[in-house]
Amino acid sequence: MAQGKRKLFADLDGTELRWQMYDAWIGQAVYHGILPKIVQSKARRQRVDYRSRRGPFSDWVHAQVEAYQGEERLRGMRVSDAVFVAECAVDRNANMVHLFTDLLIQAALEVGIEPVFLSGSPEEAVAAFARTKGVKYWRGTRHPKKNGYFTGGMPDVIAHRKGEVILEMAEEEDVDLEASVAIGDSELDGKMGYVVGHFIAFNPDAGLTDLAEQKGWPVAVEKKDVVHMTCTSPGGGIHRPQLRDIMPFDLADAFRRRIDAFREEFGINLRV
């Protein structure tokens, strides 16, 4: 019996990128006069608190997203302007990636596993970034549009339902979920882990860390040029998994080749 497609579902903000694409998009929109400066100033206190470790990351995310999505803030913005801003944001941030995830995506493309970016950032920004990586499949937050303008209506924020999105795609495209992989950094991304055969908690927040320990999911933490990998056993012990323990064998082998090639090209010994 023919097998379905294999996919690599990757969170974008904080997992592939080292920062948040929606924040880069907002920054460029403000810089070009498409959004008012108040969109950034409304979340300034939470941003400062997070960066000084005096407030949770989630408070800044909530404040920043609400600042640009709330009060019909996007109403009347031209879609073409949103696309232009997205391209500007990607031009400035496309190389600001985590090596573990970026090389994993390259390895997936090599062995015929289709990468899919799933992100809470505006779909215009996600699409622009995906193109730079040769990734054909993506889903981002969709803001209602009409006649080339945003209506300011309630957006479809897929960050809250990534597991559902994966199941929808599986039904539409005959995806072999058991042979597919997902990687994410937040507790919300953990919903992907319930529906695929291989899930990696990458630089996880507190909620995802707890969930990974409960489910026995591997945890990968990238710090400079070192990736620390751990996995909690059913009995509670912690061990260091091998790449073939946490993903399909062909993907693991291609990933290792990518790591070795990166070392030779750039002289950076990414230790995984």
Task: Output the pTM of the full model.
Answer: 0.94
Q: What is the predicted pLDDT for the residue at 156?
A: 92
What percent of the chain has pLDDT above 90? Answer: 87
Strand 198-202 and strand 181-184: the pairing is: parallel
Residue 235 CB burial class (10 angstroms; 0-12, 13-18, ≥19): exposed
Kindly indicate the confidence band of residue 209, based on its pLDDT and cuts at 50, 70 and 90. Answer: very high
Strand 181-184 and strand 149-150: the pairing is: unpaired
Kindly indicate the confidence band of residue 169, based on its pLDDT and cuts at 50, 70 and 90. Answer: very high
Neighbouring CB atoms inside 10 A of 11's CB total 24
Q: What is the predicted pLDDT for the residue at 75?
A: 94
**Cα-flanking dihedrals φ and ψ of residue 152, to 5°?**
85, 5
pLDDT in tens, 40-81: 999 999 999 998 999 988 899 999 999 998 888 999 999 999
Q: What is the predicted pLDDT for the residue at 3?
A: 76
Q: Where are the domains of the chain?
A: 7-18+96-266
Helices within the chain (DSSP H only): 21-31, 38-41, 44-51, 57-69, 79-93, 99-110, 123-132, 162-173, 190-193, 206-215, 243-246, 249-266
Q: What is the predicted pLDDT for the residue at 80?
A: 97
Separation of alpha carbons 2 and 171, rounded Å: 15
Q: What is the predicted pLDDT for the residue at 233?
A: 85
Kindly indicate the confidence band of residue 1, based on its pLDDT and cuts at 50, 70 and 90. Answer: very low
Q: Domain 7-18+96-266 falls in which CATH fold?
A: Rossmann fold (3.40.50)
Q: What is the DSSP letter of 203?
A: S
Predicted confidence (pLDDT) at residue 108 exceeds the cutoff of 50? yes
